[in-house]
């Protein structure tokens, strides 16, 4: 039995090596499958990262555009405020000029009213003087200002022949 022992030992060692190789082969296949899975996950993550970078760049462009629009709007708002102040100042100036014209017109009207009163007083005084002179000269009384208007005659319209006939019904 001695010769078979080494053979059995060699076969056992060989069998052990075969089992170890099979185990290593399974481990290698399992590790390769994990590696492939990790690579696919990494590729997905890389794609997501690229998409995120593209979206981030687009966001930066949008933000830059919005910032530019905001600055433009701020300038426009400032210009509008300046215009509004100018309009307000112009309005105040026009209002003051208008008020000055109103005061001038009121003063003119008041002066005219005083002038009219003075003229009426002078007229009354002249009429009294005329009355006094007429009474002193025994002259007839002057016109007193009451004027009677004669009634206007109604015009008769010419009616063309054939129109305006009278119905005897």
Residue 104's alpha-carbon distances to 95, 99, 107, 116, in angstroms, are 14, 9, 5, 18
The model's pLDDT over 96-114, given as tens digits with 9 standing for 90+, comes to 999 999 999 999 999 999 9
Residue length, the chain? 169
The model's pLDDT over 74-92, given as tens digits with 9 standing for 90+, comes to 999 999 999 999 999 999 9
Q: Which long-range contacts (CB under 8 A, 24 or more apart) does 136-143 make?
A: none
Q: Is the pTM of this model over 0.75?
A: no
130 contact partners, CB below 8 Å, separation of at least 6: 142
The model's pLDDT over 2-41, given as tens digits with 9 standing for 90+, comes to 555 567 888 999 999 999 999 999 999 999 999 999 999 9
Give me 55's structure tokens. Answer: 């979206």
């Amino acid at each position: 039995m001695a010769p078979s022992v080494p053979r059995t030992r060699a076969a056992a060692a060989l069998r052990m090596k075969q089992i170890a190789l099979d185990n290593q082969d399974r481990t290698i296949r399992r590790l390769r499958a994990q590696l492939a899975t990790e690579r696919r996950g990494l590729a997905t993550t890389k794609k997501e990262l690229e998409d995120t970078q593209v979206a981030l760049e687009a966001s930066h462009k949008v933000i830059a555009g919005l910032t530019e629009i905001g600055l433009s709007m701020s300038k426009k708002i400032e210009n509008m405020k300046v215009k509004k102040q100018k309009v307000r100042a112009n309005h105040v100036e026009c209002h003051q000029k208008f008020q000055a014209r109103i005061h001038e017109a009121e003063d003119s009207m008041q002066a005219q009213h005083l002038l009219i009163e003075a003229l009426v007083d002078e007229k009354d005084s002249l009429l009294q003087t005329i009355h006094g002179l007429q009474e002193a000269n025994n002259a007839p009384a002057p016109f007193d200002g009451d004027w009677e208007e004669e009634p206007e005659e109604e015009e008769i319209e010419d009616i063309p022949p054939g129109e305006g006939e009278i119905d005897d019904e």
